[in-house]
Amino acid sequence: MFFVLEDHNRNEYPTLYQRMFQLRKEVFAEQLEWDVKLSNLGEIDAYDDCNPAYLIWTNADKTILYGCLRLLPTTGPTLLYDVFRDTFPNNVSLTAPGIWEGTRLCIDEKALAKDHPAMNPRRAFCLMLLGLCEVALQFKIHTLISNYEPATKRLYNMSGAVLTELGRANSYGKRPVCAGSFEVSQKVLKNMRIRLGVNHALLNNDFPDDEKKATQSQAA
């Protein structure tokens, strides 16, 4: 199940929130070794206090988290604007309604392997991007700004997303971090669905049984 969580329904899903911040700690601090702020709740920063929306991927009864991502409007405070502005004075200061920032995209590989053993993490990442594309279209977002490691660009390409690199920084962690923009349109959505062999909406739908077949035929 892919769905959107915002602060107003935070109290309904306390364990998903807890797990999300823990997962972000595991992925960004421990695996990727990014220089991120940690607390005993996990990886939480000032932007999590700015009423973001989160794209969440869980099992059907919304108890096990598979993936998450944070969405912020670029008309308000954003991570990329504040943190990367000095590194890329040129490029990551895009600010307008219809342009949003997507950050902290991560997947719980262990939880997925347990519930969807046939799906590899790369496909899972691509499905999150597809879910993101759906959310964006629903809310008339036409451009998403995001940060990612250089190797991740391949996953964007694999998913059929149109990613434009805006710049990269070398001083953020162990490896360079890029900032890029991801165009959203019906055409892009169609292309992503074809590439990923998905022929149904992910958002607010139960995860379909045919995913197993798609996963095997893709062998992505």
Task: State yes or no: residue 45 binds other proteins (CB under 8 A).
Answer: no
C-alpha 112/C-alpha 96 separation (Å) is 36
Contact 140, 98 (CB under 8 A): yes
Give yes or no for residue 71 binding other proteins (CB under 8 A).
yes
Our CB check for other proteins shows the closer of 97 and 117 to be: 97
Give yes or no for a contact between 175 and 201, defined as CB atoms under 8 angstroms apart. Answer: no
Residue 94 makes contact with other proteins by CB under 8 A:
yes
The residue within the footprint of other proteins, chosen from 29, 137, 169, 203 (CB under 8 A), is: 137
Check: CB of residue 166 under 8 Å from CB of residue 88.
yes
Is residue 186 involved in binding other proteins (CB under 8 A)? yes
Strands 65-73 and 143-148: unpaired
**For residue 1, what are its two tokens?**
């199940």
Q: Which stretch binds other proteins (CB under 8 A): 28-36, 113-121, 151-159, 183-191?
A: 183-191
Assess 53 for contact with other proteins (CB under 8 A): yes
Give first-to-last CA distance, the chain, whole Å: 21
Question: Residue 103 interacts with other proteins (CB under 8 A)?
Answer: no
| Sites of contact with other proteins (CB under 8 A) | 4, 6-8, 10, 50-53, 71-77, 89-91, 93-99, 137, 139-140, 142-143, 162, 164, 181, 183-186
